[in-house]
Structure 1
Amino acid sequence: MSLDPQLEKAQLRIQLLQQRKALSKAEWQDKSHRLCCHLQSSDLYQGSRTILAYISFRQEPDLSSLFTETTHQWGLPRCMKKQLVWHRYCVGDTLQAGKYGILEPLPDAPILTGDEVDLILVPSVGCDRAGYRLGYGGGFYDRLLSLPQWQSKPTVGILFNFGDLLDLPIASWDKPLQGVCTEVGLRQISSE
């Protein structure tokens, strides 16, 4: 008898989040720094002008060192009901805690549309070899990546290496990512 895929995901999510929470501040900073270095040296990153990212929450990999670069424009999400709305972000812009306690742009910050974006960095609890992602269970990124204006955008899952898994339980609505970046490197995923 096999487990319900959603139950398997929930158990795996708890395990991986506990592992992430157990990192010391120094380990978290070191892993985040190495991840950012791998990302910055990738063709996907270097060939992008406008990148959607996130503000680290609960010891997610910290991408904030990238936001000071003047060669890229950045977008951060704001939760609006069950959707993510993307706003332009520059270091120093005011952020406020949103519905889930995550820092997000103010509602009047300039909005970014799909045609302005070159790359989406997707916060991930886990990812598998085929690019399927384990998120937090809210479905925000699955809904986003199902919308026509976002489907063609390159996506890279951002996570620590212990979350880079062989395979994950997959649901019909799960959307595979095109790459996975951890502190040990960036792996692009073949669509074949």
Structure 2
Amino acid sequence: MNSKRYIRNQVKEALDSLTDEQYRQASQQIADHLIASSDWKASNVVALTISRGREVNTNQIIQLAWEQGKRVAVPRADFIEKTMTFYEIKNFAELEEGDYGLREPVPNICPIVPFDELDLIIVPGLAFDKDGGRLGFGGGFYDRFLPKVKVKTIALAFSCQLVPLVPTEEHDQKVDDIICPTGFVR
């Protein structure tokens, strides 16, 4: 079995090799599949991160959520406690750059969104397998957060982020569904 470090390195290299056009087109295809899904249509409060680097572009998804009257909840990480608090953002100006280059909500202007108000969680990650196994970025934030909520989880992934098997441990949380440019793979 490939180690987590090896898989992270391989996927990062594959993501870095995407051309700008491949990145833009695949992000759009993934967003189109998400927006067409019954889970999206049934949700009023969507939780997701602000994409960075070669992560699937979430800005267009957030913009569409606002246009459809959905509430958007974005996490702010506490790197000492290894926890996240979700805040509602109503525009991109309510974000600031936090640790590790993350764009996060400004806590004194954005209201907290309680976990029980979330309808759909778009879970970030670096690699995924078809059983919903997820390899995150190493902080364990979502592995600690997801057991606290009983909400549909979807990962957005480029095809190069799908691997045969993600090595998992007991505390690792799986996602319910994965959307790639060709559609749902789980």
Same fold (TM over 0.5): yes
Question: Shift of the alpha carbon at 1:58?
Answer: 1.5
Which of residues 172, 175, 180 is equivalent to 1:174? 172
Q: Distance in 1 between matches of 2:84 and 2:102?
A: 13
Q: Secondary structure of 2:24's match?
A: helix
Q: Distance in 2 between matches of 1:96 and 1:103?
A: 5
Q: Partner amino acid for 1:117?
A: L
Residues paired across the two proteins, number? 180
Question: For structure 1, which segment, 69-78 or 38-47, has the greater mean C-alpha deviation from structure 2 after superposition?
Answer: 69-78
Unaligned runs of 5+ in 1: none
Aligned to 1:64: 59
Q: Does 1:87 align with 2:82?
A: no
Q: Secondary structure of 2:56's match?
A: coil
Question: Shift of the alpha carbon at 1:87?
Answer: 0.5
Q: Distance in 2 between matches of 1:105 and 1:79?
A: 10
Q: Distance in 2 between matches of 1:161 and 1:64?
A: 20
Given that residues 126 and 164 in structure 1 are in contact (C-alpha distance below 8 angstroms), is that contact kept between their aligned partners in structure 2?
yes
Q: Distance in 2 between matches of 1:70 and 1:154?
A: 19
1:174–1:92 Cα change, 3 Å: closer
| TM-score, scaled to structure 1 | 0.89
Given that residues 130 and 185 in structure 2 are in contact (C-alpha distance below 8 angstroms), is that contact kept between their aligned partners in structure 1?
no
Q: Distance in 2 between matches of 1:40 and 1:139?
A: 27
Unaligned runs of 5+ in 2: none
Q: Does 1:38 align with 2:33?
A: yes
Aligned to 1:165: 163
Q: Distance in 2 between matches of 1:12 and 1:165?
A: 8
Aligned to 2:71: 73
Aligned CA RMSD, in angstroms, stands at 1.4
Identity of aligned residues (%): 28
Aligned to 1:111: 112
Question: Shift of the alpha carbon at 1:166?
Answer: 2.7
Q: Distance in 1 between matches of 2:70 and 2:101?
A: 26
